[in-house]
Amino acid sequence: MFDIGDMSTATDMVAATGANVRAARWLDPLKAIDLDFEGDAAAVRAAAEGAFAKADAIVQRSEGRARRLIVADMDSTMITIECIDELADYAGIKPQIAEVTERAMRGELNFEEALRSRVALLEGLPESAIDQCLAERVKIMPGARALVRTVRAQGGSAILVSGGFTRFAEPVAKEIGFNRSVANRLGISGGVLSGTVEGAIVGAATKKQVLEQAVIDLGLSPADSLAIGDGANDIPMIEAAGLGVAYHAKPKTAAAAPARVDHGDLTAILFAMGYPRASWVLDDQ
């Protein structure tokens, strides 16, 4: 939250870098400030990040910022949990698996190998645990529905691409409003998990490929795309997008991203795209 004087403070802060502030407005009174300036973007970003307590700062070109394609990670980005960790809880081995998940998301382990090793530990878990986990544990991240539905209402497209599993990604994508989802397929036989992942792993390379192919299929330029993620396996797509956003991300991912959301929810990205609060498509609409 800002106070009424923070508009002037923000304007002065940007001007102090040598930039020329051309316009300033509230996108949401006392919640989101939008400044249009000419100057050194890197200097403005350095000055703006951390200047206000619990406020995020995103610096970008104003032209084309209402991007036509969003590609987003699922676990800890569009939902509040890591699904494999919660599945492991039903098997009584959550601490063991969660430690590996954390290290993989930090980029300390090979993602593909770490996923196969964790899934192997789930062998024998009843298939019914998937639906139970979906019903009991999966919570949509605040702002996810508004973000995706607003972009689509403006003629854009949204793809959920996850290193998690189709049994979670498909219903999550439908509930939030994505056009489609891409994720890994768990091996299941005789009503229990087989401890395998079917086919090639959806990892960092696949996420980047999904974004690049969607740009081509939709007749867009890479600048028209936006990628959102939190883990190390999201870095390639974040770097390939017109705007890559690290959302409450691991340090390696945050360092690689040109934009970060550390404090707000996913609606912060709507502000970054230039959409005032009054234009959002909300959950109850």
- The residues assigned a catalytic role are 73, 75
CB neighbour list of residue 174: distance below 8 Å, 6 or more residues apart = none
- How far apart are the C-alpha atoms of 247 and 267, rounded to whole Å? 11
Find the Cα–Cα–Cα–Cα dihedral 73, 75, 78, 81, rounded to 10°: -170
| Structural contact between residues 227 and 198, judged by C-beta atoms closer than 8 angstroms | no
- How far apart are the C-alpha atoms of 223 and 65, rounded to whole Å? 9
CB neighbour list of residue 23: distance below 8 Å, 6 or more residues apart = 35, 36
Q: Is 192 helix (H, G, I), strand (E, B) or coil?
A: strand
| Structural contact between residues 122 and 36, judged by C-beta atoms closer than 8 angstroms | no
| Structural contact between residues 51 and 57, judged by C-beta atoms closer than 8 angstroms | yes
Degrees, nearest 5: CA angle 73-279-222:
40
Tell me the residue ranges of DSSP E strands in 41-179. Answer: 69-72, 157-165
- How far apart are the C-alpha atoms of 119 and 190, rounded to whole Å? 17
